């Protein structure tokens, strides 16, 4: 595919803007004015439309391809949620319109959504209250750890350390460190779950809390989860639930019932709102009763007359971490999604996600190594260690999948698995699509065994094939940034 500048034909135009009169109407310093017009491609409107349409077709996305990106829940986004989020009564609101006076009724519907979403998330997680402010999962993590720190400060606790499993998402230790804590890594046992015995030996009076994903990044549910939370509580520590994998248990189990004190949720993963490309995101944080006073201000409350308003009088609050409405359009989409599915529908989500992941695990087990066997939840992790004997690595398998029409799964994470390939099919994919993916993975495994040299050329269908990623990382072209 040619670059748009390569398609340029001198003298061809798609639009003829009027001559700028900025120089005469605004006093701009001469050294700030251009001497020559910027170099632009010269194309007709049709050429431009076709170029960018063709370019868009080269993208992978959940609307175009199966996207089994492990630990990220890249599932289908229902179009009904998109339509409702575009309703003028929501989309055209200014975020700072008055709540109750001077036409404040315009905002009452939006405030009601925030209030009712708080109630829904409390029921789903067994928390006592939520803040809707965090704009992403990692932002939610930081908010949760700030609440943890505020709790310990309020009680006069001398806490310095947060415990995190070695299989955790990388943002967990980053969030803990930003909040001022030292991080201790807890090893996994032979079953792929955090070792409760090792945890006991590490917990002491300086333990502020623990950050856990449950099921973990291997897709394995920890049967000792209640005991783990009890161990942390024995030293007045707090248990933090990383909600990135809630899709595996939604409607079936609640983090608060396990013993967690703080929960963040990824609305842009679990509740099917747009996800990928760095955003948009939403990471509400819920807490148990004893932590409510530390939630960010302000929070939407319902008054006795049925109207909604913001509550600011929270002396122990950690303050604002984002606007009170968070990423409202994402919250609204998740609100519609939850109401649309209902209690039984949310249970179906987790059941089908778990079924699909175990189906893939069983079908591919003869062809790829399974570092931890047994029942998984919403995602399964394979290793390409068997293929490495033929000098075919996880990254090579990922490149080959692109040529077969599939977005690659997550590779090289979690880091406790060598040559890891983390596959999450979600609940929204059909058996036919999953079977096609399984067939592609089997084909790749057989090619790796019979003709491993083939992988040096993959992918063949993309505008650019194999890049030397090491050289690219070490020799960044600063001038082009």
Instruction: Report the alpha-carbon distance of residue 437 to residue 448 in Å, rounded.
Output: 17
User: Which residues of the chain have a pLDDT value below 70?
Assistant: 20-26, 100-104, 274, 276-279, 478-481
State how far the Cα of 193 lies from the Cα of 374, in Å rounded to an integer. 12
Q: Which residue is it, tokens 């189906």?
A: 359
User: What Å distances lie between residue 478 and 40, 290, 375, 474, 475, CA to CA?
Assistant: 22, 50, 47, 11, 9
CA 303 to chain centre: 34
Domains: count for the chain: 2
Q: Are residues 355 and 238 in the same domain?
A: no
How crowded is residue 102: how many other Cβ atoms within 10 Å of its Cβ? Answer: 9
Residue 478 lies in a domain: no
Same domain, 306 and 379: no
Residue after which a domain boundary falls, among 296, 319, 340:
340
C-alpha dist (Å) from residue 163 to 181, 230, 240: 10, 14, 10
pLDDT in tens, 39-51: 889 999 999 999 9
Last residue of a domain, one of 305, 340, 375: 340
Asked if the structure places residue 3 within a domain, the reply is no
The DSSP 8-state label assigned to residue 18 in this structure reads P
- Where does a domain end: 315, 340, 365? 340
Q: Is residue 431 part of a domain?
A: yes
Per the DSSP assignment, residues forming a β-bridge with 211 are 240
54 located within any domain: no
Which tens digits make up the pLDDT trace of 285-330?
999 999 999 999 999 999 999 999 999 999 999 999 999 999 999 9
- Position 275 in a domain: yes
Task: Give just the sign of the alpha carbon dihedral 147, 152, 153, 159.
Answer: negative
Residues 328 and 371 in one domain: no
75 phi/psi in degrees, rounded to 5 = -105, 170
CATH no. for residue 417? Answer: 3.90.1150.10
Both 284 and 165 in a single domain? Answer: yes
State the pLDDT at residue 452: 96
Q: Please tell me whether residues 301 and 376 are part of one structural domain.
A: no
Give the domain range for residue 423.
348-472
Q: How far apart are CA 138 and CA 136, in angstroms?
A: 6
In a domain, 108, yes or no: yes
Do 150 and 191 share a domain, yes or no? yes
d(CA 74, CA 410): 11
pLDDT averaged over the chain?
Answer: 92
Q: 234: domain CATH number?
A: 3.40.640.10
Other CB atoms within 10 Å distance of the CB of residue 341: 18
């Amino acid at each position: 595919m040619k670059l748009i500048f390569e398609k340029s034909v001198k003298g061809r135009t798609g639009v003829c803007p009027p001559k700028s009169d900025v120089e005469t109407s605004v006093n701009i310093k001469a050294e700030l004015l251009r001497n020559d017009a910027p170099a632009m491609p010269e194309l007709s409107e049709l050429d431009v439309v076709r170029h960018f349409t063709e370019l868009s077709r080269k993208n992978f996305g959940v609307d175009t391809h199966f996207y089994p990106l492990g630990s990220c829940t890249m599932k289908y986004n229902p179009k009904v949620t998109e339509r409702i989020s575009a309703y003028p009564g929501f989309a055209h609101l200014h975020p700072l319109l008055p709540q109750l006076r001077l036409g404040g009724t315009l905002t009452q519907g939006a405030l009601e959504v925030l209030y009712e979403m708080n109630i829904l998330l409390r029921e789903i997680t067994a928390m006592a209250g939520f803040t809707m402010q965090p704009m992403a999962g990692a932002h939610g993590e930081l908010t949760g750890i700030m609440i943890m720190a505020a709790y310990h400060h309020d009680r006069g606790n001398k806490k310095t350390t947060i415990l995190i499993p070695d299989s955790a998402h990388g943002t967990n230790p980053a969030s803990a460190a930003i909040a001022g804590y030292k991080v201790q890594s807890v090893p996994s046992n032979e079953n792929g779950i955090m070792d409760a015995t090792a945890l006991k030996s590490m917990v002491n009076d300086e333990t502020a809390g623990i950050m856990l994903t449950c099921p973990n990044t291997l897709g394995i549910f920890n049967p000792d989860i209640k005991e783990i939370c009890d161990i942390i509580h024995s030293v007045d520590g707090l248990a933090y639930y990383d909600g990135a994998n809630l899709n595996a248990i939604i409607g079936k189990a609640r983090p608060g019932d396990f013993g967690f004190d703080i929960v963040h949720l990824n609305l842009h993963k679990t509740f099917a709102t747009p996800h990928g490309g760095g955003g948009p995101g939403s990471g509400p944080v819920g807490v148990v009763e004893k932590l409510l006073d530390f939630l960010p201000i302000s929070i939407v409350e319902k008054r006795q007359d049925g109207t909604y308003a913001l509550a600011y009088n929270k002396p122990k609050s950690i303050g604002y971490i984002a606007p009170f409405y968070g990423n409202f359009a994402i919250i609204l989409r998740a609100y519609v999604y939850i109401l649309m599915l209902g209690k039984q529908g949310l249970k179906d989500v987790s059941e089908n996600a778990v079924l699909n992941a175990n189906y893939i695990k069983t079908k591919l087990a003869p062809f790829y190594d399974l570092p931890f066997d047994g029942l998984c939840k919403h995602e399964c992790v394979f290793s390409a260690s068997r293929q490495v004997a033929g000098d075919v690595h996880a990254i090579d398998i990922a490149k080959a999948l692109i040529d077969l029409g599939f977005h690659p799964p997550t590779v090289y994470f979690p880091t406790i698995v060598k040559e890891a390939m983390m596959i999450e099919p979600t609940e929204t994919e059909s058996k036919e699509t999953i079977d096609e993916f399984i067939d592609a993975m089997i084909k790749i495994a057989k090619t790796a065994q019979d003709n491993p040299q083939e992988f040096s050329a993959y992918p063949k269908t993309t505008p650019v094939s194999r890049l030397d990623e090491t050289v690219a990382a070490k020799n960044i072209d600063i001038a082009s940034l």
